[in-house]
Amino acid sequence: MKRIWLLFSQTVTVLVAAYFVVATLQPQWLNRRAVIGGVSVIEAPASSLPRVTGAASPTASFASAAKIASAAVVSINTSKAAVKNPQMNDPWFKFFFGDQGPGEAQAGLGSGVIVSSSGYILTNNHVVEGADDIEVILNDTRKARAQVIGTDPDTDLAILKIDLDKLPVIVLGNSDALQVGDPVLAIGNPFGVGQTVTSGIVSALGRNQLGINTFENFIQTDAAINPGNSGGALVDVNGNLMGINTAIYSRSGGSMGIGFAIPVSTAKQVLDGIVKDGQVTRGWIGVEPQDLNTELVEAFRLSPEAAKAGGVIITGVLQNGPAAQGGIRPGDVITAVNGKPVGNVSQLLTAVAALRPGTAAPLTVLRGESSVEIAVTPGKRQRPKVRQ
């Protein structure tokens, strides 16, 4: 019996040691295949994000991560036909203004990331919006015309598809595990000069209220992001995709060390919705929320505990809406949605939008001096109508 136990313990020890060796030297071997909206993708294990516990070596190289990820990052060239003035054929218009000609076509540059061997590409909506022709150029110089599968202006993401074989695919990382100070690389095609890799760290997480998108939960980084990088990859030191580079804060048009990327967790939701249903379906509960402040604390006579806890106060509830049916009342302070803390209106909007319509989810609410959990079944958020 002792011999069997000794053999078992030795076997377990060897297997654990082998796991740690592989996780350290060849983490990509532990990647698993997953299906998002019917699309086969590759996901990294949740524990794959490395942590630097001591001083970083000044000679550390990110060459391996850059090589792994760069193959799946593409350049995107777009063109838009010139808009013809409808009065150009009017003789009187030509008499007064002359022959204006057809005008000039518009061209644009951007980047994208291949997320599936079947040809699906993640990029920004503003890269391809209004384009009549989209050309994708791979890092191995192959070119292909791209089809727009769907767009989601609320997150500024778009899904393209190309028809080529033997496509390199990026590994989708776990952006929820990122921490401020983690090293990251930004890969894209800035200013059309060709694929470029820049390095930096995660400067902040959960950036919102920037006025860029409807649903904002940006990763902020000081890795240089410039025009043309939009739609490119923000990756960790294993080459796993952490975000889609989207915007910069700049007074000159160039990088000033403040760039923003959409987390891959958001990108996966958009990919799933667009490929499966043709659009992204989001939750809605029918409330009027406001950021908690001193005036509202006094107006609703909230307890000191509620004021200290923070959260979002509900100043109005739609009659017969999902929140009203669940028991939410004006004056309630929502502090968490489905287990995720919310500290402002933007975070509440994003958290509720991530809920699946028709499936009950718990909301943590401060009511008076007590904290209660209320189950609310969200409805479907309607997309805003486009003005003609």
The pairing of strands 147-152 and 106-114 is: unpaired
**What gap in Å lies between CA 18 and CA 20, rounded to an integer?**
6
322 φ/ψ angles, rounded to the nearest 5 degrees = -55, -40
The predicted structure's pLDDT at residue 159: 95
The predicted structure's pLDDT at residue 340: 86
The predicted structure's pLDDT at residue 387: 41
Taking the CA atoms of 248, 216, 109 and 167 in sequence, report the sign of the dihedral they define.
Answer: positive
Q: What is the full per-residue pLDDT of the chain (388 aa) written as tens digits?
A: 666 666 666 666 666 665 555 555 555 555 777 778 778 788 877 666 555 554 455 556 789 999 999 999 999 999 887 655 556 566 655 544 555 555 555 677 899 999 999 999 999 999 999 888 999 999 999 999 999 999 999 899 999 999 999 999 999 999 888 999 999 999 999 888 889 999 999 999 988 777 777 788 899 999 988 888 899 999 999 999 999 999 887 666 666 778 999 999 899 989 998 998 888 888 999 999 988 877 777 777 776 666 666 788 898 999 999 999 999 999 888 989 988 888 888 888 888 988 889 999 999 988 877 788 999 999 988 765 544 3
Close Cβ partners of 62 (under 8 Å, ≥ 6 residues apart): 183, 185, 197, 199, 237
Nearest residue to 362 via CA among 370, 372, 354, 353: 372
The predicted structure's pLDDT at residue 92: 54
The predicted structure's pLDDT at residue 106: 61
CATH architecture of 283-380: Roll (2.30)
Partners of residue 112 on adjacent β-strands: 74
Give CA 311 to chain center in angstroms.
Answer: 24
Nearest residue to 272 via CA among 31, 38, 40: 38
Q: Is residue 79 within 8 Å of residue 110, measured between CB atoms?
A: no
For residue 133, CA distances in Å to 138, 163, 194 come to 17, 15, 20
CA angle (194 as vertex; 192, 200 as ends), nearest 5:
100
The ranges assigned to domains in the chain are 283-380
Q: Is residue 347 within 8 Å of residue 206, measured between CB atoms?
A: yes
168 φ/ψ angles, rounded to the nearest 5 degrees = -70, 145
The predicted structure's pLDDT at residue 216: 82
126 included as an active-site residue: yes
132 included as an active-site residue: no
Given the residues 156, 182, 272, 332, select the one marked as catalytic: 156
**What gap in Å lies between CA 343 and CA 206, rounded to an integer?**
11
Amino acid identity at 25: L
The predicted structure's pLDDT at residue 149: 94
371 included as an active-site residue: no
**What gap in Å lies between CA 218 and CA 196, rounded to an integer?**
22
Given the residues 48, 70, 116, 126, select the one marked as catalytic: 126
Q: Is residue 244 within 8 Å of residue 124, measured between CB atoms?
A: yes
149 φ/ψ angles, rounded to the nearest 5 degrees = -80, -35
Read off the tokens for 362: 């718990």
Give CA 68 to chain center in angstroms.
Answer: 21
**What gap in Å lies between CA 212 and CA 253, rounded to an integer?**
16
The pairing of strands 218-221 and 120-124 is: unpaired
Close Cβ partners of 86 (under 8 Å, ≥ 6 residues apart): none
Give the number of other Cβ atoms within 10 Å of residue 362's Cβ.
14
Give CA 367 to chain center in angstroms.
Answer: 33
294 φ/ψ angles, rounded to the nearest 5 degrees = -60, -40
Given the residues 111, 203, 230, 265, select the one marked as catalytic: 230
Write down the residue that tokens 């063109």 correspond to: 79
Give the number of other Cβ atoms within 10 Å of residue 317's Cβ.
22
The predicted structure's pLDDT at residue 98: 55
Give the number of other Cβ atoms within 10 Å of residue 26's Cβ.
9
Read off the tokens for 318: 């739609």
Three-state DSSP class for residue 147: strand
Ranges of beta strands (E only) in 249-330 are 259-263, 283-284, 287-291, 312-317
The predicted structure's pLDDT at residue 361: 92
CA torsion 293→296→300→306, rounded to 10°? -10
Three-state DSSP class for residue 9: helix
Under DSSP, the state recorded for 35 is E
**What gap in Å lies between CA 282 and CA 274, rounded to an integer?**
12
Partners of residue 282 on adjacent β-strands: none
